[in-house]
Amino acid sequence: MSKPIKEAIKNFNFLMYTFFSGLFYFIFFTVGISLGAGLAITLIGIPIVVAVLRQAPRFLHQDVKVAQTFMRDSSIGTGSYNASHTFKSSSINSEENMLDVLRNGTYWRQVLMLLSKLAIGMFSLLAGVLLYIAPIILILAPFTYKFTTISLLFFTVDNLLEALIVSAGGCLFLILSLSLGKALVGKINRYTHWAARG
């Protein structure tokens, strides 16, 4: 497999990871904090909120590790990240430690950065489909126009000549998409490292 194809697959996978991880973080933190806040009156909620907040540095660190794994052997730089930026969890039973976690603005900032990954992830999903899947569908137009309806903006592909023109356009779009996808993945990667440094 040639290097551009490997890099395109890697970039597409990273965009899909960004979407699914952003969706997971949003569900995890909104449900966890809402549940903890709702149960705070019974005093069970405070340890739940603290436990949820303590996951933020771990998730950020995991994101950086995943970004470095995806970007290994890639021309996109990964930056550097020091694991010492993560907070070590102390005894969960100590009231003082729980209050320290609740008062610590860093945990809340990290949660907000992870929540923002939902918007980034949704954009990544859209970009992944437009930049990597759409060109392949266009390239395959000469083989599929007889079996499916291909409509592009103002016209429908219904003969071989139009299908070949669409396929040629798909090839050009794919070449452009590879550069755009690489740039987008680089920006998401830099955001991930910036968020982890907090």
Q: DSSP readout, 97-139?
A: HHHHHHH-HHHHHHHHHHHHHHHHHHHHHHHHIIIIIHHHHHH
Predicted confidence band of residue 3 (pLDDT cuts 50, 70, 90): confident
pLDDT at 183: 93
Phi, psi of 102 (to 5 degrees): -65, -35
Is 77 a residue whose pLDDT tops 90? no
pLDDT at 69: 84
| Helix, strand, coil shares, percent, the chain, to 5 | 80, 5, 20
Predicted confidence band of residue 28 (pLDDT cuts 50, 70, 90): very high
Is 75 a residue whose pLDDT tops 60? no
Per-residue pLDDT tens over the stretch 113-148: 999 999 999 999 999 999 999 999 999 999 988 888
Q: Give percent of the chain with pLDDT exceeding 70.
A: 88
Residue 156's SS3 state is: strand
For the chain, the domain total comes to 1
Q: How far, CA to CA in Å, does 25 sit from each of 61, 76, 112, 131?
A: 13, 25, 10, 25
Give the integer Cα–Cα distance in Å for 148 and 167. 15
**Mean pLDDT score, 140-162:** 84
pTM of this prediction?
0.81
Angle ∠(187,180,131) on CA atoms, nearest 5: 115
The domain of 121 spans 3-197
User: The tokens 């996109």 sit on which residue?
Assistant: 76
Q: What are the structure tokens assigned to 65, written together?
A: 């590790």
Q: Is the pLDDT higher at 116 or at 72? A: 116
- Give the mean pLDDT of the chain: 84
**Mean pLDDT score, 80-98:** 55
Is 81 a residue whose pLDDT tops 50? no
pLDDT at 1: 57
